[in-house]
Structure 1
Amino acid sequence: MAMNGTVPPGTEAALVEWVNSFPLSDRVESLREMNDGRAIWEMLRTINKDSFVGELPSNKQSDYARQQNLLFIYGQLVSYLDGQDARYRDFSDYELKKIATGESSSSILKFLKLVLLVVISPPNHEIISKIPQLPSPTPLILQALFEEIDPARPPSENGDAPDTSDLDSGRESSKGSAFSSPTRRRDRELLLEEKLALVNAQLTRREAEVEDLKVDKEELSVAYLRLQDNYEAVKQSSAENEDRLKKLTSVHNEREQLSIRDLEAKISLQEETIGRQESQIAELQTNEAELQRRASKLSDVEEKFQKLQDEFHIQKVNLDEQTRRANAGDKYKQKVQATQGVERERDALRNQIDELRPRAQAYDEVRRENSKLKQENHEIGQTLSHSERSNNEFREMKQAYIAEIERFHRETKGLREALAQGQERIADLEDRSGGSEVHSSPMIVDGGLESELAETSKHEQQMQVARTALFWSRVLTIDRKSRIVELEKQNRQLTDDSDEKETTIKTIQRQLKNVQALSVDQDKLLQDKTQEITNLQSSLAEVRQGHPIEGTETFKRTREQLKIEQKKNVELEKMLSAAQKEVEAANDERTSSFDRHCLISELNIDLLQGALVDKPKLEIIEAVKKQSSMALMLLQSEHEALQLLHKGVQDENDRLKDDRKDAWYEAHEAVVAKGLADSDHAAHNQRLADLKDMIKKFSNDRSTESTAQISEALEMNIGVFARKIEESRERTLKQQQQIEKQEALIKDLETRLEQQKIVQDSMQSKEDAKEDAKFEETSPKEREYTQNLERELKLIASAYHDLAGRLQMNNVVLQRRAEAPKSWLGRQRKVMEGVGGLVR
């Protein structure tokens, strides 16, 4: 009925109609849609649910999955038909592959004939009774297929089949007459004897083949056990490789990626080797099943003579085979589950290692930030101590200014008394001049006009001197009053500024105490975190050594606490930066206002001291100018020397500033020191400029003073200037000493950093040397292990070729893949799990 691999349309339509008469999950439109085996399996389950049990191995739509389903169905059909003593057509793996790929409809038709043979062996009355009810010409085509399958036993509606024991005699009787002759009866007996002899010869030959097959079966079982031992050895070696991988990952932190890749490549090669070995085992199992099926066929011939004994033997063999398959499936499933569990644990350990690395880095950052905070607290404490010392100096100067102001009050009081005495003297002189004018006439009358003119000229000169003295005393009194008012205002302003600075210093001290308290709390938290880090490291070491994984909640809790501590550190840094800015601003404002007020107060004091001296006479103005110019030249030379010194100190400070940029913990202190030094030098320059202006004013205002008074004033001013110059020199020396201390501290820190770096480099080199030594120690073992694997693979290949040669000598067809396909191992595991489930 099938020509050139195709089926006539009428036959295909009739078979499709008959297949759709069964209760299927999906309706079938053509025979090619049945290549996955699902419809055939549902038909077999409908025909005989007790004999066809289990589920199909795969539900995927691939050629390999469909072929596996057809192999499973074919095995069930073979076992069923062998049990029913039915004759059927054998299917090769190539034909089943063609059915799975949908290349041949005739192969599917031949496969359906096995289903028809199941219907009539023994006859299924329910299925056969439904066939005449199908639309025409389906019953006729199915009847022709039944006759084609077994012409001697056509199906009937009542399910009775003719007896095949008298088949040959019936055919002979139909050809001849009803009553056979003796001659023909003898011929028939001779034919039967010949047939009996042929059967006996065939039976002896088959018995010899059965013995050979038993020997081959024993050899295959031995080879299977050897392969199983090799498989166990490979599994154990893979477990050892995984342990070695864990050790290598714990040792090689920096080379982790390369080592993991190499080990994964080795593991993939080992898995491919295992896959190839498992494929060989599966092929051997299929070959063994094929040999067993053929042995069962040969035993069917022997069953005709020893039926009871052979049935018992077959049942025993089938039971042993099923138990062996069940045990093998269970063992393989357990091994696969153990392998998967080890892989999951390995992945979990890798993830935990990746999570712990950023945590350790974060803890190091917290430690560094804590050290920075401690350094900043130390700097703030030094700044506060410096501000306290400056505040104390400011208070002492304030008390000195108050004493000077009181002294000025006393001197003004004395000047007022002197002014009152001068005014009384002037009044006396005016009275005397009036009296002389009254008594002049009698003196003129009495004689001596020249004497009277001389006395009058003397009185006029005395009056002129008294008027000038009175005028300058009044001017000085007015100037003193205005300056006293200004000094009182400055005193009040200084007191207000000092109060403000004291309040700011108190607030900064409170902030510093708060920051110190926070730093103490931060130290405690850091100690707790370091303790937790040590605990985590110890737990990680235990996990790497193979202990059960614990502490996942601890890791999560540590991560949350680390985030909280990082937020607190950010807030603390903000508070410290704000307090530092406030301290710097208060310090700058205090120093600038203090220097400004000092300059103003010193200038006022010097002017008042010069103003208190009596006015010189007009004759010595030139001498005073010369002495003032000489003093001015001296002061200018001193000023230029101080400027050069200031420039040198400023250049040195700039150089130190550039050098301090590379230092770690002394940057803030260096900047504060430079700011203070610059402010002192600027104040000193401003003070010198003010002194220069004061000298010019002094030379202009003292043009009428006496020589002695001018010399005394000049000596006093020169002493004051000498003291100020000495003070400026002492300040520069102190600044240089401070700069030298800072340089020494920076050099000390640099040497410590270099020593620490050298120690770290030495430790790193030692660790690298240890790791290289360990790697060199492990490499020969790995080479030896790979050589052992290659040797085992060669032995397995030679055993396989030996078995293949023996099986080909017995006309057994084998198929082998060159390489295990991708994801082959996963599919085989699923198949074995399914087989294990069916056997159980």
Structure 2
Amino acid sequence: MATNGTLPHGTEAALVVWVNSFPLTNHVNSLSEMNDGQALWEMLREIHAEAFTGELPSKKQSAYARQQNLQHVYRKIASHLDEHDATFTIFTDDELRDMAVDESSTSIAKFLQLVLQVVITPPNEAIFQKLRILPDPTPQVILRLWQETMDQAEDEEVDENSDMGSGRRSSNSGSNLSSARVIDRELRLEQHLAELKSQLDRCEAEVKDLKEAKEQTDDAYNRLSESYDAIRKENTEIDKQLKKFTATHNEREQRSVKELETKISQQEEVIGRQETQINESRSKEAEMQRKIKKLDAADDRLQNLQDDFDVQKVELEHQTRKANAGEKYKQKVQASQNLEKERDSLRKELNEARSRLEEAGDLRRGNVKLQQENREISQTLSRSERDNTELRETKQAYLGEINRLHHDSKSLRDALAQSQDRITDLEERFGGPERHSSVDHTLDSELAEALNHEQQMQVASTVLLWTRVLMSSRKIRITELEKLVRQLKSDASDRDTKLAMLQGQLDSAREDSADQYKQGFEVRQEMSVLQSSLTEVRQGHSIEGTETFKRMREQIKAQQKQCAHLEEKLSAAQKVLEAAESDRELMDKPKLQVIEEVRMQNSLAMTQLQSEHDALRNRHNRLHDMFVDLTEERNAAWHDSHEAVMAKAESDMKADADSQTLQESTDLLRQAGTLGSIDESKGIKIYASKIEESRERLAKAQKHIEKQDALVKDLEARLEQTNASAQNNVEDANKLPATKVSHRVFITSFSIFSPLLVGGISHFTDHSTPSQNVPTSAERSYTQNLEREIKLIASAYHDLAGRLQMNNVILQRRTEAPKSWLGRQRKAMEGVGGLVR
């Protein structure tokens, strides 16, 4: 180690490596960082854990705290070495204070020699093993330092032994000591005592200052510890609240998910029970329909027997002809009205087409006028171009002439200058009047020619100026004509576009008419298919065997498959998109924020699931209510129809009773005719009483039939309302968003309600509109029943009227309609024919 107060870099680096080989809380980069004593204390605890127990007195970073830590470490090392009777280097308090304040690596290295002595006394094999593993040259430096500490310890022992020997020799030979040495020694002791007192005073002053600083630091430490404790309490409370919140939130989420799962399972169970109930109700309804069909068949057989019995009295075929003529007249009137409507629509279209054609003709005439004007303008343009070319040619000729004149004038001026020069030369040489006059004459002529050339140049310039003015005016006129031509061309193009637009509108109108005709043809085909299916249903065939039902079922299956496929694709794409978006958003974010966002997404997903579940539940409740209403109305209609059938049976029984009374009256008349005039008055009284009873019965039957007609009309109105509401509900269900569960519920509800609606329509409504041209089998049976009914009524009425008029009984007029009898018979015929008018 260097003695000049500095430490070699290799030695310091080796010591740093050796210090960092110990398990320190904070590794050091230089020895000056070890002046707080923390690293030294951790090294000592690693070397001898039993000897060095406890903690350092202060964990602050002030100079006083570091000094206290170093003093504590030094006391522990000194006590340990004293226990093992080892010699060591003594550090005073001043040296320790300087070490804590100056951060000197030399003093720290000197202090590390004490640590090396602790490693040696007693020797620690584990530290030696760790030292062998360290890289070179650390082990060599540490061994050299150990050697230096061992040498210092041996030197101190030798000095102590020599001092002890000299003391013995001085005690044995006390006379050899001189008084001067004793005085010198006392003086040195006094001087040393004075120095110690001064150091003590200085230390006391420093202790006071340090105590004041300690009180201040203690106060600050207490305040900081209180604030730290408060912050720790708040932090613990916040952690507890966060844990409670997360626990409660997770419990709520799990509870809500379980509740939703239970609700969904309950809804599925309810749907299954309702489906079973619906199937049972459908089976019961089928049984009731079979019973009704059996009753209708029995009623048909009875009515056919009665008709076969009464057909022999048919005499009024002309009334049937009138009825047929009236129906034909109605059909013709309806057909004429339809033709009038079509004729009016065609007239409107024809007028529109004529107006469009007139507009097109006007546009064509305007186009012709514009073309003529364009031709005239083109002719004027050609004339102006010719004039322009002529002017350009004249201008070029004038320019050539002007250039020529300029050239001549230049040549004349040059000749004049040469002649003047020559004249001056001649005058200088010879000088003479004769020659001078001739020269003047030639000069005057040349000057005159020059003036003539200048006049010609002026004339040419004026001509050129006028030509330029004419050319500018021509150019202005040409530009105006070009603008007019452009305007006329734009007007012609606008009219052409209008004509093309009108032509396109006409073509679109023709296409629309063709599309309407195609649509009408398709509608007629569909109406024919529906009419055929309706006739099949009326004839007793099953609804599921019709073409319309098959088409609807195929369309529903195809739409169901397509919708399910699209829903699966959409759900998969939405899941992938949501996962990608969530992953993209969660990148480069802290964990707490990610957790909060995940919780928010879970809460949003739960709310969305809850809203979808509520929507499905409301939709299911609405469909259930609609089904309950339809079943109630269906049951009420069936009950009313059953009552109507029973009333019809009662009316038929009453009619049989009336016929029996009439038969009895006819028998009485015959008996009266055979008995003679003696019993005539008595028979007339009996006959009159019978007639009065029959009239009362007929009036009661008429009232009852009127009530039944009112009930039937009410039933028909109610069924029309139910059909309209069911159709609206089905349309609303089609408009709703189709999820997997909702689509399944809609399909099941449609499969449940469609046979009910079709059955109700086929049994109780009057919605069919037969075609105008081809009568169906139901219409033929209906007309046959009417003919039979009219024949029966007329034959019975005339027979009875003739017999009663013979006996002077007042009856109704022939023109008045027998309402009660007619209504009852028509009701019976409707039941027999199975036709709903």
- TM-score bucket (shorter structure): under 0.3
Q: TM-score, normalised by structure 1?
A: 0.22
| Larger Rg over CA atoms | 2
Q: TM-score, normalised by structure 2?
A: 0.22
